A and B are shown apart, each in its own frame.
Chain A
C-alpha cells in the first residue's frame, strides 16, 4: 500500500497538463512560408508522418511523465515492504504521557490505563535487536530493555505534573536519531492536550501519535489565594475555575478539613469564599470542587495565617485623631491595648508605625535613630501643596494630602503621593510621610481612616509572612529567613542554593525559621494547563512534531508501528525515473531528429 508523506504536493499533478497545453497553444495559426519545393515536403510528410506522430506522441508522454514523476517524488511516496511482525533493528522512543491529565476517566476507564495497555503492546512487538527509550511525564528519556520497560509501565501511575509533550517528542526523536540504527521511530501515547504541544524544530524522525479518545468535560481549580494573607480572625479566599463544560459545580473552602464556605461556579468563574478562622497560627486550607472525570485538578491547596488582634500602644505624639481611631478599633475587638505595635512620632523598640515629628527640629534626630537601628527609611524635605493619596492600602485612594515629608530609603512602598513614597515599610518600621492630622491630610477626617488604621496595625505592621507557590517536580526558590521545610517525612533543611524540588504530592508544606517558628508556607498545586483537555489538531501536531508525524487511528497505528523499518521511500526511485525519462526525451528529440537527417 502506497502512502504519501507530503500529500499536498500531489496538487502539482495538474502541472502534467502543461506539455499538452503548450502543444495546443503552439498549434495556433502558424505563420505561412512560401516554399516552391513543397512536393518534396509533401512526399516527406507522407512517408514519415506516422513515425513523426509516434515520435511526437512519445516525446509528449515523456515530458508529461517527467513532470508527474517529479511531483510524485515531491509528495514523498512510501510503500510498505516485507510483512509480518518482523522488522529490522529499530531505535524506538516511546513517549508515555502519565501527566496529571492522564488520570481522567473516559468511558469508565482511566486514560492512563488505556495508554499503558497500548504501550505494553508496542514494547511486546519490539525485538532484542531494537533499542528502546521510554519517556514519561518528566520528559527524561530512559534507555530500557523490553523487560524493564514492561515493568516500568506496569508500575507507573499518573503524576500530578505537567508534561510538555512537544518537547518530550522532540527529545525522544533526538535520542533515537543518535542511536545509529538504520531505522528510527517515535511513538507518542498521550491524551494529546493542545496545551501540552509546544511548537519547535521539526525532528527528522517519523513520529506516530495514537489518536486520543474524545476528552471528557472537565472543571478544575486554576488558583486560590487568601485575601488577606493574614486573617484576623476572618478573611476570604479568591478561587479561579477553569476547564471545559458549562455545568455548574459546587465548590467549598476547607480549613483544617472542615468546610467553612460553599459556592457554585462554572469554568471561567472567580469565586470569593469567606470564612472565619478557628484559633490562631498557620492553617492548611483547600478549595475543593465536587469530583468529576479528572479528579486531580479538583482541589487547590493554600495556607491561611490566622492572627490575633494587634496589641496597640499609641504615644501622645501620634495625635488625637490616631488615639480616637485606635479606641474605636479596641472597642470593636479589632485591636487590643498592649505593646505589640507602637504608633508614635519617635522611634521605639519593636514594631513601630512612625509618623513625622511634630517639631521639625526633631526630624534629624529621628533619622539618626532610624540609621542606628539599621532602617534605610529617612524623612526628607517637608513639602506643602495639595496632592491625593495613591495606592491600595485600604480605601484611601483619592484622599487629599497637604503636607508631607519626602521618604527616602529602600523599604517596600505601600502607598504613594504624586508618585513618591508616602507609606513605607522597612523591617519592623512603617514610616508615614504625613502626620495623621487634618492640617496634613484629610485622611483623619475621612471615613477611610479607621479601616486604614485597621490595615496598618493588623496587617502591614504584623510579622512578615512568606508564601511560596510551586508545582510538583519543579524547582522553587525558598526565601532567606526559611531554614527548614516541614515535609511528611520530617523537617528538611533548605539547601545552600535555596532551591528545592516541589514535592510530588500536592499540598501545603510549612516553612520554618531557625528558631522553629513558622514563617511561611510552600503551596504545591497542579499546573492549571493540565486541566485543559482539548486535544491538539493535526496542524498543531505537525507544528510540534514536524511533517513526518501523523495522528493515527488504532488500526493505522497498528499498521504503521515499526513501519519506518518496513517502509521504503519511493522518492529516490521516482527521481531516477524522472531523470531517465528526461534523458529519453532528450535522446529521442535529438537522435531521431538526427536519424531523419541521414
Chain B
C-alpha cells in the first residue's frame, strides 16, 4: 500500500499504478515540495507582484504576517522577478524511448512523461512560464510557455497525446527552442540520448550560448546498463530495424564498459559546456530526480 506515503519517494512503477499522469505528478510534487525548505527552482526578488497561497516549501520569511494576523490565512508575497523565468521542456518521444527492459517497470517514455509533468507542475506553481516540445525525427508537438496555473492541463494533454514516433533527431527541436524562448530562460532536455552526440551537443551548446540555462535528463532503463539474453541473439534497433548478432555472455563486460564510458562522455561534455546533466534510471523515484536537479540548480545559481 502506498496510501499515506510520499509518492515522490516511491518506485515510479508503483506511482504510475495509482492513476494517470496528472494524479501521479501531483502526488510527486506535493511530496517533493513538502520535503523542501525553500522553493526549488526560483529565488525571490524585491519587486512585489501579488500574493499567493502558502505552499509547503515556501520560505517563512516571505509570509505576509499582516494577512495572517488579520485573516488567519497563510499568504506569501510574490515578486515580479519570479515570473520572468521561461522554461521549455524538450521531450524525446522517439521509438527507442518506448522500451522497458523488464516487466513491472515504466518505459523510458512513460517515465519521462511523468517526470516532465511533475517538473512542469513545480515550475508553474512558481509561476514560471513553461512550455513543451515533443520530437522524434522532427518536432511533433509544441506547447508555448505560459505561466498560468491552468496551463499545466494543456501540458498534460500534450503529454498524453504524444506517442512514440520513430527515429531521433534532436537538432530541429532544440533550434525550435530558440524561436520560442526569445529571452534567456531554462531549457530542459529529456531524452535517452540515443542520438548523434556531436550534433546534439552543438545544438545544446548553441542554446547555452544564447544565454539559456540548459538541463539534460539522460533517461536510461536499468536493463540498458548491461546486456542479457539467449546465448546468441540478433539484437535489433527498434528505430531503424538494423540488427547485430552477438553473444551477451561474451560481450557483457565490454558492453557495460562501453555504456559507462558513454555516460561519462555525456557528463563531461555537458560539464564543459556549462550544462546541467542528470543520468536518470527509470527505477529512480521521481522525488530523487527532482531534488537532485533542484540542488544542482541551486548550486549553479
Contact = CB atoms under 8 A, between A and B. Distances in A.
Contacts of A331: none
A46 to B, nearest CB: 10
Interface residues of B, number: 37
A593 B253 contact: yes
Most buried by B among A30, A32, A42, A598: A30
Contact of B239 (A36, A45, A48): A36
A502 B198 CA distance: 110
A34 B259 contact: no
Given A37-B224, A38-B235, A41-B227, A32 B243 contact: yes
Interface stretch (B126-134, B206-214, B244-252): B244-252
Given A37-B259, A43-B258, A596 B253 contact: yes
B250 A52 contact: yes
B237 interface: yes
Given A41-B255, A595-B253, A26 B232 contact: yes
A360 interface: no
A36 B234 contact: no
Interface string B140-170: 0000000000000000000000000000000
Interface in A572-598: 593-598
B230 A30 contact: yes
A27 B239 CA distance: 25
Interface in B217-269: 220, 224, 227, 229-239, 242-246, 249-259, 262
Nearest to A55: B250
A45 B232 CA distance: 14
A32 B236 contact: yes
Given A32-B236, A36-B239, A48 B230 contact: no
B234 A41 contact: no
B215 interface: no
A47 B252 contact: no
A296 B210 CA distance: 124
Contacts of B44: none
B96 interface: yes
A31 B251 contact: no
A36 B99 contact: yes
Interface string A15-42: 0000000000011001111111111111
B258 A44 contact: yes
Most buried by A among B235, B252, B256: B235
B136 interface: no
Contacts of A40: 224, 255, 258-259, 262
A33 B233 contact: yes
Contacts of B10: none
B34 interface: no
Nearest to B255: A44
Given A36-B238, A45-B244, A597 B194 contact: no
B232 A44 contact: no
Contacts of A27: 232
A53 to B, nearest CB: 10
Contacts of A47: 254, 258
20 contacts: A27-B232, A30-B233, A30-B234, A33-B229, A33-B236, A34-B235, A35-B229, A36-B95, A36-B96, A38-B244, A39-B194, A39-B237, A40-B255, A40-B259, A43-B258, A44-B258, A48-B251, A52-B251, A597-B256, A597-B257
